[in-house]
Structure 1
Amino acid sequence: MSNPSVVQVKPFLQPFPYGREGMDSWAAQFALATPSLKRGIDQDGGIKPNQPYGELWIGGTHQNGPSYVEGTDEELKSLIQRDPAYYLGKKLVADDQMSSQYPSDLPFLFKILSFDKPLPLQCHPDKSLGKRKRREGENSNFVDTNAKPEVGVALSPFTAFVGFRPLEQLAAIVKGVPEFQELFTESTLSSLSSSASSSSSDAEPKAGRANASGESEAAAMARVFDISVKTYGEDDVGSLVAVVLMNILRLDKGEGAWILADDLHAYVEGDIIECMANSDNMVAHGLGEADMGGRSTFVEMLSYRHLPAEDLLLEYEDKWSAGQQGLTRRYKVPIAEFDLLATTLTSVSPTETLSPLDGPLTFVVTNGTVKVTAGDDSVELSKGQAGFVRAGVEIKLEGNGELWGAFYQ
């Protein structure tokens, strides 16, 4: 049996309740681009107009949503396990920490998310907590032993709650609303003010890189509060907690944010590329009836970091050096398991050649048509279709379209 260098893969559609409904969901649209895809699709092979479709897992090997090779229907993980060094690369296989954490497996999970209502307030455990909870066997929300840091990059205007606001911003908000002051003891207010005064950041968030829309912070707070209340009702305390205590990011296409394990977050609306370490562990409370993982675990595991929103944005490098024609952007992800890339081909510049990567590449075509050639193998994919390329091989991209990928380097 031959070991192909590039294959088309069948993603896995996840009908999570926060997703856009029917064909308004990019996840559903992209799923239908692969006619043979059945997993996650309704039994009749169609998309229900009133069914939310929140996520499409692309080229994944996680047990909760594995991808399969188009044409053979072999599970992608099985293909990789035929020859891990060939598919994953010698660098990844030789890394003791990575190979023990992700034995003969991809170290990342790559997705499309499409949503028009807030996700639950959530955080993902670090590796030590994941291991402990799995060992104790008391919590069904811990399905593996891996940590789950993640990033999200906007494909359309994207709003998200990410991390707690800096202390000086919290102090300014509490000071400006008498009703909030009644919720805190005098010692807590004094401590908050003292901590805030020692910070060097501005108390008023500025319309900067974390605010692509240019709307004021007050307008953003009102808008996302309205979205949350319409979704979950006026009595949901999570709406108030998120709007008041958390950073609100407003990003345009191509802009992204990173989230470390144990950081509080909730996406609000948008269509995004999401990638994370290969894990599906989640603990969630607030915004809706979310009650996943136990409230005490949720409170215990939060990092309570309070960084300015601008510090959470992903840096990127245009005309990445690995792209020989200068058509590829590389996102510098502060997570060991993966980086991201985006390549745009046009009728004027229809070809990009990527130098061999140390690790595997999982990708999706988000617009147009792209032919991907690796070694003696090639696949031609259209919008919504996905593929996988082994490590250590030059990759030629041809066409008129846009391709996003996650890779180990």
Structure 2
Amino acid sequence: MDRLVNTVRPYAWGSVDAIPELLKVAPTGEPQAELWMGAHPGSPSRVDRGEGGRSLAALIAADPERELGAAAVAKFGPELPFLLKVLAAGTPLSIQAHPDLAQARAGFADEEARGVPLDAPHRNYKDANHKPEMICALGEFEGLCGFRAPAEAADLLQSLGVPALTGLVEILRGKPESEALSETLATILTMTGETARTTVAEVAAAVERAAGAEPDGQFAAYAFAAREFPGDTGLLAALLLNYVRLQPGEALYLGAGVPHAYLRGLGIEILANSDNVLRGGLTPKHVDVPELLRVVIFQGGEPGVLRPVADADGEELYPAPIDEFRLSRFTLGDAARHLPGPAPQILLCTEGAARLTAADGSTLTLARGESAFLPATGTDTELTGPGATVFRATVTL
């Protein structure tokens, strides 16, 4: 068992105090957006096995089968296939979607062949992997997930009373679902000049008025986004998406092609080991409209809010249709829980203190905000700690 030393990513949209509060450290005064746990080359966790500390990525690269297990290496390759994060959004993240595996491989190969530097601001594909993800709320968490049904989106736009939106409403009401959503989004994202400035300003004023009448509803969230990104046509795109308010312990799974944005809150995020993002607004970063439109799935419907399903041993699983990651939670009482060890695992304690006991009798105690890597030993690890909450990230073999 290895206690992890993790890196905090200070993105501008991060919360100043949420991650420090979880870790019980003093805020720096700067936004702290993501705490990374895993072996992603961007910010690999570090472990200390009596040799002064090494990155988890280097340990795995030195002996993948020892750390990940032969079955995981055979199925996913010689790298940890997931990345676990604590995500703290103080302001909205960009509206975005992620490619599927075939799209990622093709996009990465194309940009490599064209010689686009990996760190170029206009680079879309940082790697050749897909990036399905899940967010699980630690507190109340607001986000946007998937398209509204076209009729519902039309009703929302019409309710704002902005004449400039009439054409979008007509598209949404007059065409089949996929065509209606794709044409509406394309119209919004290619809007420029005075038309864009005037329309966005009028919509921002309209959502502010609506938020005043309903200060704790969806319009308050849209008004928040409008204030953070004045003049950004992403505000119009955001109105096409479902507003979701997760309660603590609830989660969302976001597969390839699903447009989404996190607005504010603290959560546990788990994702395949990739950094491929195609943005569609609410951002100063590069927006590649044709590529985004090619990747997005234009299908409306309610977002599927996930709640954990407990098994007989007390493990609460968040089901997801993917094998690269598996997220579950333990809310510990007096009974010990036993974690099977055929695959690599990362454990994160979010409440109380949890004690891990390995098959050889060695122990490790995790306080709130601390995490550990469990290599694939093939033996069980005992988990105890009355009152503790522990999230478990692993793979499905």
TM over 0.5: yes
For the residues of structure 1 that align with 2:99 and 2:172, how far apart are their CA atoms? 28
The counterpart of 1:67, out of the listed 14, 23, 45, is 45
Q: Please tell me the residue identity of whatever aligns with 1:395.
A: T
Q: Match for residue 383 of structure 2?
A: 397
Q: Please tell me the residue identity of whatever aligns with 1:340.
A: L
2:344 matched to 1:365?
no
The counterpart of 2:33, out of the listed 54, 59, 62, is 54
Contact 2:153/2:172, CA 8 A, preserved across alignment: no
The counterpart of 2:229, out of the listed 232, 238, 256, is 232
Contact 2:97/2:259, CA 8 A, preserved across alignment: yes
Q: Match for residue 78 of structure 1?
A: 58
Contact 1:370/1:403, CA 8 A, preserved across alignment: yes
Contact 2:177/2:300, CA 8 A, preserved across alignment: no
When residues 83 and 378 of structure 1 are mapped into structure 2, their CA distance, relative to the original with a 3 A threshold, is: farther
2:173 matched to 1:189?
yes
Q: Match for residue 142 of structure 1?
A: 125
Shift of 1:12: 1.4
State the Cα deviation string for residues 203-249 of structure 1 (Å, max 9, x = none).
xxxxxxxxxxxxx999623111221122122x22212320x200011
Q: Please tell me the residue identity of whatever aligns with 2:338.
A: L
SS in 1 for 2:54: coil
State the Cα deviation string for residues 86-122 of structure 1 (Å, max 9, x = none).
3223322232xx22xxxx1111110000112110111
State the identity %. Answer: 29
State the Cα deviation string for residues 335-370 of structure 1 (Å, max 9, x = none).
22111111122xxx2342224144211121112211
For the residues of structure 1 that align with 2:318 and 2:249, how far apart are their CA atoms? 10
After alignment, is 270-279 or 358-367 more displaced? 358-367
Tell me the number of residue pairs that the alignment of Structure 1 and Structure 2 aligns.
349
State the Cα deviation string for residues 116-158 of structure 1 (Å, max 9, x = none).
2110111122222222232232353422111000000000001
Q: Match for residue 173 of structure 1?
A: 156
Shift of 1:10: 0.9
2:238 matched to 1:264?
no
2:290 matched to 1:300?
no
2:3 matched to 1:8?
yes
When residues 195 and 289 of structure 1 are mapped into structure 2, their CA distance, relative to the original with a 3 A threshold, is: closer
SS in 1 for 2:167: coil
SS in 1 for 2:4: strand
Alignment gaps of 5+ in structure 2: 117-121, 181-212
When residues 186 and 370 of structure 1 are mapped into structure 2, their CA distance, relative to the original with a 3 A threshold, is: closer
When residues 408 and 194 of structure 1 are mapped into structure 2, their CA distance, relative to the original with a 3 A threshold, is: closer
TM-score, reference length from structure 1: 0.78
The counterpart of 1:220, out of the listed 217, 220, 228, is 217
Alignment gaps of 5+ in structure 1: 1-5, 34-45, 197-215
For the residues of structure 1 that align with 2:178 and 2:98, how far apart are their CA atoms? 31
For the residues of structure 1 that align with 2:18 and 2:215, how far apart are their CA atoms? 29
The counterpart of 1:290, out of the listed 285, 288, 292, is 285
For the residues of structure 2 that align with 1:155 and 1:185, how far apart are their CA atoms? 37
Q: Match for residue 195 of structure 2?
A: none
For the residues of structure 1 that align with 2:104 and 2:131, how far apart are their CA atoms? 9
Q: Match for residue 210 of structure 2?
A: none
Q: Please tell me the residue identity of whatever aligns with 2:99.
A: P
Q: Please tell me the residue identity of whatever aligns with 1:396.
A: E
For the residues of structure 2 that align with 1:14 and 1:184, how far apart are their CA atoms? 38
Contact 2:249/2:308, CA 8 A, preserved across alignment: no
For the residues of structure 1 that align with 2:371 and 2:89, how far apart are their CA atoms? 20
Contact 1:315/1:333, CA 8 A, preserved across alignment: no
State the Cα deviation string for residues 235-274 of structure 1 (Å, max 9, x = none).
22212320x2000111111000010122111001110000
For the residues of structure 1 that align with 2:301 and 2:292, how far apart are their CA atoms? 20
TM-score, reference length from structure 2: 0.80
Q: Match for residue 317 of structure 1?
A: 309
For the residues of structure 2 that align with 1:154 and 1:94, how far apart are their CA atoms? 33
Q: Match for residue 141 of structure 2?
A: 158
When residues 80 and 227 of structure 1 are mapped into structure 2, their CA distance, relative to the original with a 3 A threshold, is: same
Q: CA RMSD in A?
A: 2.6
